Amino acid sequence: MENKVFFAWNDAMSVGIAEIDVQHKTLVGILNRLCMAVAQFESSGITVEILDALVDYTRIHFALEEKLLKDAGHDVAEFDAHLLEHRAFIARIGNIASMHRAEGKSVSLEILSLLKRWLQEHILIADKKYASSLKEAGFSTKEWSEFAKNVMSEKQEAAPKRKQWWKAWQAQQNSWTEN
């Protein structure tokens, strides 16, 4: 039986910078996990944990992406617009998590579709715009990729509340991609 996911990564979404692509795939995976939790009527606690992980990981990823754009001397107007998109997305996810936590409201398929559409369009349009300037600045090298992995690991470890959950989820995500 074919294994279908809510949001399938495809090569057209690659920005050509390995670590950024890995991070984007992780965001797609968290969104898929959220969809699975909603579809399987998992507990509110699990849904909140997934939403919190989505918020946390998105913040970490966006912070790294924004630093790269600054370091690469990306166009100021484009950078400011990109930053606003990031802030709006984090606010949107945060509001969804807060409503779910406070009111016990279910995450609807409409909200999932909205998050998927935003993330897909942001990667395919906004993130693709900056990829060439980052490559030219040297952010596509193996050395930089290792540095970025270490930064992401340190930031994830700094969130001890979700540390064990994150590792368990990561193991499960790896088993999905192997099938």
Is the confidence at residue 130, as pLDDT, over 90? no
Q: Is there a domain that residue 27 lies in?
A: yes
Structure tokens at 78: 């484009």
Is the confidence at residue 67, as pLDDT, over 80? yes
Structure tokens at 64: 């790294």
Domain with residue 70: its CATH number is: 1.20.120.50
* Domain region containing 96: 16-166
pLDDT band at 167 (very low <50, low <70, confident <90, very high): low
Q: What is the pLDDT averaged over residues 8-20?
A: 91
Q: What DSSP character marks residue 23?
A: H
The answer to whether the pTM exceeds 0.85 is: no
Is the pLDDT higher at 81 or at 146? 81
Q: Is there a domain that residue 4 lies in?
A: no
Task: Name which of 59, 41, 39, 26 is nearest 166 in CA terms.
Answer: 26
Report whether 21 contacts 30 (CB < 8 A).
no
Structural domain tally of the chain?
1
